[in-house]
């Protein structure tokens, strides 16, 4: 079940707004989880393995954040990404405290199989600096890499936290080694529509033939997938109110 979002001062705000606008205001801030088609999604992955195959996207939104789950599969390869952005019009930042390794272990493919860890590193990409760590799914004989990046710090947040976070992993087809050059290519092929340049330059996302937005089970798919896909923690719901430097806000989520 999604966390209740009528927390702290939001209760008072909702109640006051409800007196003025009726029940429609309360409904407007309820969390939403729904499918979104690749041509409307923000997370793009232009890796050649995925060029001919439609990606799948589920979006969680509430009054403080937007969080997108994305699954990419093709030519035996698989990648999953979660991208979250806070509402920058208020004093809100993201409380993200996952290392690459801990982030990898939130994905079902890692939780369901035997993982061994390899070298760590840092590399530049279209979104800035990424941390990455190699890992191998022993029983599946798959070479993989986990990655994460954060950006857009709030200077008025006492903890100087970011408002945008992206993390995920990429796995080659079974028995196919993952080279250092390929890891660079993986990072270089991750884009966010509307933020990074050249987001649609190499190829356009393939739109599925069915009405994705109308399919049921979006939350269950993002969390449970098909056994080797999904993230049971979705949505991570990392948004937090903070006290700004002038003390104008005393709101905070628990």
45 shares its domain with 26: no
Q: Using H for helix, E for strand and C for coil, what is the string for the chain?
A: CCCCCCCCHHHHHHHHHHHHHCHHHHHHCCCEEEEECCCCCCEEECCHHHCCCCCEEEEEECCCEEEEEEEEEECCEEEEEEEEEECCCCCEEECCCCCHHHHHCCEHHHHCCCEEEEEEEEEEECCEEEEEEEEEEHHHCEEEEEEEEEEEECCCCCCCCEEEEEEEEEECCCCCCCCHHHHHHHHHCEEECCCCCCCCCCCCCCCCCCCHHHCCCHHHHHHHCCCCCCECCCCCCCEEECCCCCCCCCCCCC
Give yes or no: residues 8 and 23 share one domain.
Answer: yes
Inside any domain, residue 17: yes
Same domain, 120 and 97: yes
On whether both 61 and 25 belong to a single domain, the answer is: no
Do 198 and 135 share a structural domain? yes
Read off the pLDDT of residues 66-83 as tens digits, 9 standing for 90 and up.
999 999 999 999 999 999
- The string of pLDDT tens digits covering residues 125-175 is 888 899 999 999 999 999 999 999 988 777 676 676 767 999 999 999 999
Tell me, yes or no, whether 130 and 25 share the same domain.
Answer: no
Looking at the structure of the chain, the number of domains it has is 2
Q: Residue 39's pLDDT band (boundaries 50, 70, 90)?
A: confident
26: containing domain: 1-30
Q: Are both 87 and 16 inside the same structural domain? A: no
């Amino acid at each position: 079940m999604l966390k209740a979002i009528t927390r702290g001062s939001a209760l008072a705000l909702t109640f006051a707004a409800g007196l003025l606008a009726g029940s429609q205001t309360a409904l407007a801030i309820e969390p939403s989880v729904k499918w979104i088609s690749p041509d409307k999604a923000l997370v793009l992955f232009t890796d050649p393995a995925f060029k001919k195959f439609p990606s799948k996207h589920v979006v969680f939104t509430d009054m403080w954040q937007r969080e997108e789950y994305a699954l990419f599969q093709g030519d035996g390869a698989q990648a999953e990404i979660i991208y979250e952005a806070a509402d920058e019009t208020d004093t809100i930042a993201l409380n993200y405290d996952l290392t690459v390794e801990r982030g990898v272990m939130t994905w079902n493919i890692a939780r369901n199989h035997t993982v061994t860890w390899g070298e760590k590193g840092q590399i530049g990409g279209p979104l800035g600096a990424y941390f990455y760590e190699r890992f191998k799914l022993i029983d599946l004989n798959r070479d993989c890499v986990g990655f994460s990046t954060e950006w857009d710090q709030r200077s008025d947040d006492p903890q100087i936290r970011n408002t945008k976070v992206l993390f995920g992993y990429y796995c080659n087809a079974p028995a196919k080694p993952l080279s250092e050059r390929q890891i660079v290519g993986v990072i270089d092929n991750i884009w966010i529509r509307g933020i990074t340049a050249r987001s649609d330059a190499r190829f356009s996302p393939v739109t599925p033939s069915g009405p994705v937005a109308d399919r049921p089970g979006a939350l269950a798919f993002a969390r449970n997938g098909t056994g080797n896909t999904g993230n049971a923690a979705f949505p991570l719901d990392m948004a937090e109110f903070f006290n700004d430097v002038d003390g104008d806000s005393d709101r905070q989520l628990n």
